[in-house]
Structure 1
């Protein structure tokens, strides 16, 4: 892999990492700061603030893991560094 390819690979990988980190901060911390206003919305009989704290954020984190793994695998394959 040439220097230019390594730089491109690292830029794509780090961009994906920063997007996932921003989403993690949003769903892990920011959403819970607005629990009061979110409690006015009801999902399946539960206030949304409670739902996001109890299950919503955890579901988002699991989905994010699968998305990250798939996108990173695509980056690896496109850049020629994928494992067989």
Structure 2
């Protein structure tokens, strides 16, 4: 019975991490690249407008960073619930 409770708590926390990271990814890729493009275009980085940069490259960089953050969070979660090998 304890294993089932552990598994449910583990999965619930995993889903919470996924939700937060996917919301961040959505805000950066869709929000910064499309919705807030006009406001961000007033800022320039390396001669390019920030809205354009997020639409072309920034969202990919954030996605890669989120992958590493997810790996780190899951390693901690595995240790917390005793699923690490």
State the TM-score, normalizing by the size of structure 2: 0.88
Once superposed, what is the RMSD of the aligned Cα atoms? 1.3
- The residue aligned with 2:15 is 14
- Deviating above 6 A after TM superposition, structure 1's stretches of 4 or more consecutive aligned residues are none
1:49 equivalent in structure 2: 51
| Aligned-pair CA distance for 1:26 | 0.8
Q: 1:3 offset after TM fit, Å?
A: 2.2
Question: Any unmatched runs of 5+ in structure 2?
Answer: none
Please state how far the C-alpha of 1:31 moved relative to its aligned partner: 1.4
Q: Spell out, residue by residue over 1:28-75, the C-alpha distance to the aligned partner (whole angstroms, 9 max, x if none).
A: 211121111211001121110111112111110000000001101110
Unmatched runs of 5 consecutive residues or more in structure 1: none
Determine the C-alpha separation between the residues in 1 that align with 2:3 and 2:56.
47
- Tell which deviates more after alignment, 67-76 or 3-12: 3-12
SS in 2 for 1:2: helix
Q: What are the equivalent positions in structure 2 for 1:5-84 lying under 5 Å apart?
A: 5-32=6-33, 33-82=35-84, 84=85
Q: TM-score, normalised by structure 1?
A: 0.89
